[in-house]
């Protein structure tokens, strides 16, 4: 998988979301806007888990917020440093940060690359580094949505034609992740399905519209 990202990073610049596996930088910007809107309490220290080239939180650097990124891939860390993030190269399952020292953590489009069994220790580690009252926001693809199913089929054809590298993909429902979070001790602050391209979001995760256009899941947890 690291080799796949290295190919993308050799193709796209560090400030292009396609270097992190996004199909469209414009889609990324819409998703970024939704995430930043979720971070409405101006945390002092934010941890970006599996941050890639660190693009998601760049707008917050202007607000003098202390942003720390962690990623296992050395090339991702170099790209994130080029984007002015403070970086840690290491595993997100063993974060070299003191317990209770982070105000807010985020992880965007990483859960789909992890099996369901891997999500529990990931959430445990996030819980450990967060202070009491600290929050974690997760965004990941909603594989059950009709729009995502159609997009997956189309991109599968495109990737086959152009011999593009395929990435691991695991589908997780909001309930899957929510149950893990509750077992660890997290409280659920917010859960939604979102369609970033239209800046659409809904708390009714089981509505007919959500099942059609709810391209991604958003879950905010509190320690």
Q: What is the pLDDT of residue 162?
A: 77
Q: Which residue has the tokens 């942003």?
A: 67
Whole-number Å distance between alpha carbons of 194 and 179: 20
Tens digit of each residue's pLDDT (9 = 90 or more) over 137-196: 999 999 999 998 998 888 888 878 878 777 778 999 999 999 999 999 999 999 999 999
Which residues sit opposite 45 in a β-bridge?
66
Cβ contacts of 14 within 8 Å, gap of 6 or more:
53, 79, 80, 82, 83
Which residues sit opposite 193 in a β-bridge?
202, 217
Average pLDDT, the chain: 91
Q: What is the pLDDT of residue 10?
A: 73
Whole-number Å distance between alpha carbons of 176 and 171: 10
Residue 5 in this model has a pLDDT that exceeds 80: no
Nearest to 199 by CA among 6, 26, 18, 23: 26
The pLDDT confidence band at residue 1, using thresholds 50, 70 and 90, is low
Whole-number Å distance between alpha carbons of 186 and 181: 5
Tens digit of each residue's pLDDT (9 = 90 or more) over 10-41: 778 888 888 888 888 899 999 999 999 999 77
Q: What is the pLDDT of residue 4?
A: 55
Domain boundary assignment for the chain: 2-222
Q: Supply the CATH classification number for the domain 2-222.
A: 3.40.50.150
């Amino acid at each position: 998988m690291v080799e796949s990202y290295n190919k993308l990073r050799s193709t796209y610049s560090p400030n292009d979301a396609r270097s992190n596996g996004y199909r469209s930088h414009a889609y990324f910007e819409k998703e970024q806007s939704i995430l930043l809107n979720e971070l409405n309490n101006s945390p002092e220290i934010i941890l970006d888990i599996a941050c890639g080239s660190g693009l998601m939180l760049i707008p917050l650097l202007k607000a003098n917020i202390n942003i720390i990124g962690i990623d296992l891939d050395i090339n991702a860390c170099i790209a994130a440093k080029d984007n002015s993030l403070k970086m840690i190269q290491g595993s997100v399952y063993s974060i070299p940060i003191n317990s209770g020292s982070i105000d807010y953590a985020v992880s965007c489009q990483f859960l789909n690359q992890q099996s369901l069994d891997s999500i529990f220790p990931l959430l445990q580690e996030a819980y450990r580094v967060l202070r009491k009252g600290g929050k974690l926001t997760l965004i990941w693809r909603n594989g059950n949505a009709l729009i995502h199913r159609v997009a997956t089929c189309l991109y599968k054809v495109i990737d086959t034609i152009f011999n593009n590298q395929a990435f691991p993909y695991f589908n997780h429902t909001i309930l899957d992740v929510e149950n893990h979070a509750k077992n660890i001790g997290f409280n659920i602050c917010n859960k939604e399905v979102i369609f970033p391209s239209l800046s659409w979001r809904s708390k009714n995760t089981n509505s007919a519209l959500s099942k059609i256009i709810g391209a991604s899941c958003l879950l905010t947890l509190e320690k």
